[in-house]
Amino acid sequence: MVGQARVALESTGNLWVKLYDRLDEEENVDVILTNPKKTKVISEAKTKTDKLDSRLLADLVRADLVAKSYVPPIETRMHRALLRERISLVESSVLYHNIWHIKVYFCWGLIV
């Protein structure tokens, strides 16, 4: 691993995705995605700043004490994003359908 940079990213929401993908394209960069909950040294620190967190994370990476989080292939992530969008659309459709039924029932006393 001589000449290869090691980069550690904490997975916070979806903020890591674009940066991870861009760094993963580079040949001489080893990208490690970490779960903040599993990095107890950082989460249990009394003083928390981004600067201190990054130094602690760098120390953990150098000591090889950071567990890698699973990052699915980009195709899988795209399929999951489409599925989440579909679920959201179906839930919205059901919501508006139920609202329509309630309005019809209260306005006209009809059961549809």
Residue with tokens 């995605």: 33
Helices (H), the chain: 16-25, 40-43, 50-62, 74-108
Q: Are 52 and 77 contained in the same domain? A: no
Q: Are 14 and 63 contained in the same domain? A: yes
Q: Are 65 and 89 contained in the same domain? A: no
In single-letter form, the type of residue at position 96 comes to: Y
Q: pLDDT tens for the chain, 112 residues: list them.
A: 567 889 998 888 888 889 999 998 888 899 999 988 877 776 677 777 888 888 888 888 888 888 888 999 999 999 999 999 999 999 999 999 999 988 888 888 766 5
Q: Are 47 and 91 contained in the same domain? A: no
Task: Print the domain residue range for 96.
Answer: 73-112
Q: Are 60 and 89 contained in the same domain? A: no
Tell me how many domains the chain contains: 2
Q: Are 6 and 51 contained in the same domain? A: yes
pTM beyond 0.85, yes or no: no
Q: What's the Cα-to-Cα distance from 100 to each of 5, 92, 93, 107, 112, rounded to whole Å?
A: 57, 12, 11, 10, 10
Q: Are 86 and 48 contained in the same domain? A: no
